[in-house]
A and B are shown apart, each in its own frame.
Chain A
Amino acid sequence: MKAGEHLIYLVLLMVFLVSCADGPTGEKTYQKSCANCHGKEGEGLKKLIPPLAGSDFLKDKKSELPCIIRKGMYDTILVNGHKYIGNMPGNNELSVIEITNLVNYINREWGDHSYQSEQEIQVELDKCD
Chain B
Amino acid sequence: MVKGKILLLIIGLCVMVACKDAQKQLPILGPKELVEKDVNGKIAEDTIFHTIPDFRFRDQDSNWVSLATFNDKIYIADFFFTTCPTICPVMKSNLLKVYDQYKDSNSVSFLSHTIDPLHDSIPVLKDYANRLDINSFKWHLVNGSKDSVYAMAKSYLVSAQEDKEAPGGFIHSGALILIDKKRRIRGYYDGTDDKATAKLIEDIKLLLNEGR
Contact = CB atoms under 8 A, between A and B. Distances in A.
A36 B87 contact: yes
Contacts of A47: 130-133
A48 B83 contact: no
Contacts of A36: 86-87, 89-90, 192
Interface in B114-137: 127-128, 130-133
Nearest to A85: B127
Chain B interface, DSSP helix/strand/loop, else mixed: helix
Contacts of A48: 89, 92, 128, 131-132
B85 interface: yes
A contact face: mostly helix, strand, loop, or mixed? loop
Contacts of B83: 86-87
A49 B132 CA distance: 10
A39 B87 CA distance: 12
A45 B89 CA distance: 7
B133 A46 contact: yes
B92 A45 contact: yes
Interface in B65-85: 83, 85
Contacts of A39: 93
A54 interface: no
A39 B89 CA distance: 9
A37 B89 contact: yes
Interface in B128-165: 128, 130-133
Contacts of B89: 36-37, 45, 48-49
B53 interface: no
A24 B133 CA distance: 34
Given A36-B192, A39-B93, A89-B167, A46 B85 contact: no
B85 A45 contact: no
The 3 closest A-B pairs by CB, nearest first: A47-B131, A48-B131, A89-B85
Given A35-B90, A87-B83, A87-B85, 20 more contacts: A36-B86, A36-B87, A37-B85, A37-B89, A37-B90, A45-B89, A45-B93, A45-B132, A46-B96, A46-B131, A47-B130, A47-B132, A47-B133, A48-B89, A48-B128, A48-B131, A48-B132, A49-B89, A85-B127, A89-B85
